[in-house]
Amino acid sequence: MVFETAGKEGNQNAVQVFWKNVLNDKTVLLIGDFTKLNEKDLIEDKDVSISYWDPEEEKGYQIKGIGRYHTDGSIYEVGRRIMLSKSKKPDSAPEGVIEVIVTGISIMRPGPCYYRR
C-alpha cells in the first residue's frame, strides 16, 4: 500500500504503509513511521491518496480523502494497539497515525478500459 501527500507547493511525497485498519465505511487508519514531510504536508494540504493492488481479487484501488496526523489522543491509541498486535517487537509504537476520511474510491482492473469510480 502506498500513501501519498502533497504540500502547498504540490510536491508529491509517497511512502509505504505496513499497518492499516478500516474503522468504518468512511474512515481508514494508516499506522507507522511516516516521514516528517508527510506531517508537514498534511498541515499545508489535507488532500491525500492511498493506492493498493489486491492480487486475490485482481483489482487495484485508489482511495482519495482528507488526512489528519495524530501523535497522541484516542485515534493514536487505536493505531498503537493495532501496531502492537501485529508487530514482532513488543515495545513498538508508531511515530504517528494518519486518519483518512474517505471522499472517493476508484477501482481498476486489468483488461480493456476497466476503470470505475
8-67 confidence digits (pLDDT tens) = 888 888 888 888 999 999 999 999 877 667 788 888 889 999 999 999 998 999 999 999
Neighbours of 80 (CB within 10 A): 17
Q: Would you call 111 exposed, middle or buried from its count of C-beta atoms within 10 A (0-12, 13-18, 19+)?
A: exposed
* Residue extents of the structural domains in the chain: 2-116
Can you spell out the DSSP letters for 40-105? HHHHH--EEEEEEEETTTTEEEEEEEEEEEESSSHHHHHHHHHHHHH-SSTT---SEEEEEEEEEE
74-107 confidence digits (pLDDT tens) = 999 999 999 988 888 878 888 889 999 999 999 9
> In the prediction, which pLDDT does 65 show?
97
Q: From the options 3.40.50.1170, 2.30.110.10, 3.40.30.10, 3.90.470.20, give the CATH code of 2-116.
A: 2.30.110.10
Residue with more model confidence, 108 or 37: 108
